[in-house]
Amino acid sequence: MSTFTQVTPRVSQKSRAEKLRTIRKIWPWFFLLAMVLVFMVLSKKINNVNFISSRSVQGILVYATQILLIGMAETIIIISGNGGIDLSVHYTLGLSAVISAFIMRALYAANVSPILTIGIGFLGGILICIIPGSVNGWLVSKLKVPPFIATLGMGYVVYGLALVRAKGIQIAEQPPYLGPIGNGSILYYWPSHGVSFFKVPADALPADLAHITPILPNVVLIAMVVAVVIWFILAKTQFGQHIYAIGGNIQAATRAGIPVASTLTRAYILAAVLGGIAGVLWASRFTSGAANAAETGLLMAVAAVVIGGTSMFGGEGTIVGTVIGALIIATIQYGLVVLGMQPYWQYVAVGVVVIVAVIVDQLGRNMEH
């Protein structure tokens, strides 16, 4: 009997901690659902508009792509610990957009085929980002510069170089297929006519476009594929497990023989590459390149990471959580547009959600202990 009375409280406390941990993980899903319901009611009542439709859902997903790509970069760095937040990744996005647009404009002017032009431009825009990512990793892992300072300095360097290359203006005059890649969809459904792949049916007239429904935007599909790859890297590879271990306890990771310096360097390179992918997608959506392409992207991305449950202390977080966080922010942005409110209110709304997320996370941690 005495043994039973000693074990029961421990089992009860462990069960309670597991329940609290589960609540912390799933609350963003319920919050997303609640927001959708609120916007459904308000949009119907105020503007007599159906918030949930094929076009609105895909609009939200498109809004979420850039937030998600930068958010995944921040998730990797924040999980790696050491107080890490990459303050350069949104500037890296701008550099990628500028370099890819510059390459595509030059090749297109030289009469290189549009497909080859776009492919080389995309590749160049992504590969150039390896340089700032490598420098960030070297500064943090080798010289022990705090990530905040290292990435802040590199961010301004990258932003300045992008401005110099673009001469302070957007780089336009892009190949003709670029816009359809960034703004097109995988499928187009035309009632009574069937489905068309990758482009609007050739026999559709301008009056028919309102009746044709695009299904799965190209940029959304690309972001989904990238998210799956990053999820696999973090959850299923030794490199991903090393990132979690370093973020959890860097001294213990070092004693366990984990190559801390090289792991951190690769983490910063991977984050920069994600910024590069976001940059070429931006260039394809807006058929141009601009140094300030993601001027407010960093704040929204970090908000998505926090809302998604990634610990700012390192060692804990998931790509799935960041996906939900990005969807929550995109829903707020899109919902306020549907309601006809000024876009400035989105910052207030996102700020409130971030504060709620931090409170929920902190209360959960305190109750677990």
What are 82-121's pLDDT values in tens digits? 777 899 999 999 999 999 999 999 999 999 999 999 999 9
* Domain annotation covers residue 176: yes
The model's pLDDT over 257-272, given as tens digits with 9 standing for 90+, comes to 999 999 999 999 999 9
Domain that holds residue 154: 29-363
The angle that helices 319-338 and 54-79 make with each other, rounded to 10 degrees, is 140
Q: What's the DSSP call for residue 185?
A: E
Per-residue pLDDT at 324: 94
Q: Is residue 368 part of a domain?
A: no
Q: Does 18 reside within a domain?
A: no
* 271 close to 140: Cβ distance less than 8 angstroms: no
Which residue, chain included where needed, has tokens 């949009």? 43
- CA dist 258 and 235 (Å) reads 17
8 A C-beta contact, residue 333 and residue 346: yes
In total, how many domains does the chain have? 1
Check whether 15 has a pLDDT greater than 90: no
Q: Cα–Cα distance between 142 and 159 in angstroms, integer?
A: 24
pLDDT at 1: 47
Q: Which helix (H) or strand (E) holds 190?
A: strand 185-190
Phi first, then psi: give them for residue 67, nearest 5 degrees: -60, -40
For the stretch 274-292, pLDDT in tens is 999 999 999 999 999 999 9
In which residue are the tokens 């009375």 written? 5
4 located within any domain:
no
Asked if residue 16 is part of any domain, the answer here is: no
User: Hunting for tokens 């076009």 — which residue is that?
Assistant: 55
Segment 50-77 shows an average pLDDT of 92
Decide if 8 is inside a domain: no
Q: What is the pLDDT of residues 214-260, one digit of tens each?
A: 889 999 999 999 999 999 999 999 999 999 999 999 999 999 999 99
- CA distances to 60, 133, 303 from 310, rounded to whole Å, are 22, 21, 10
Q: From the CB of residue 358, how many other CB atoms can be counted at a distance below 10 Å?
A: 13
Radius of gyration of the chain (CA): 23
Question: What is the DSSP secondary-structure string of 134-158?
Answer: HHHHHHHHTS---HHHHHHHHHHHH
In-domain check, residue 102: yes
Give yes or no for residue 16 having a pLDDT over 80.
no
In a domain, 68, yes or no: yes
pLDDT digits (tens, 9 = 90+) for 151-169: 999 999 999 999 999 998 9
Cα 258 from Cα 30, distance rounded (Å): 38
309-324 tens-digit pLDDT = 888 888 889 999 999 9
Question: Can you give the pLDDT at residue 14?
Answer: 59
Alpha-carbon gap, residue 155 to 94, rounded angstroms: 10
- Greatest alpha-carbon span in the chain: 87
Distance CA 306, CA 325 (A): 8
Q: How many CB atoms lie within 10 A of CB 5?
A: 8
Q: What is the CATH number of the domain that holds 86?
A: 1.10.3470
Instruction: Express each pLDDT in 165-218 by its tens digit.
Output: 999 899 988 998 899 999 999 988 888 777 888 888 777 777 777 778 888 999
How much is the pLDDT for 20? 63
The span from the CA of 5 to the CA of 337, in Å, is 58
- CA 110 to chain CA mean position, Å: 34
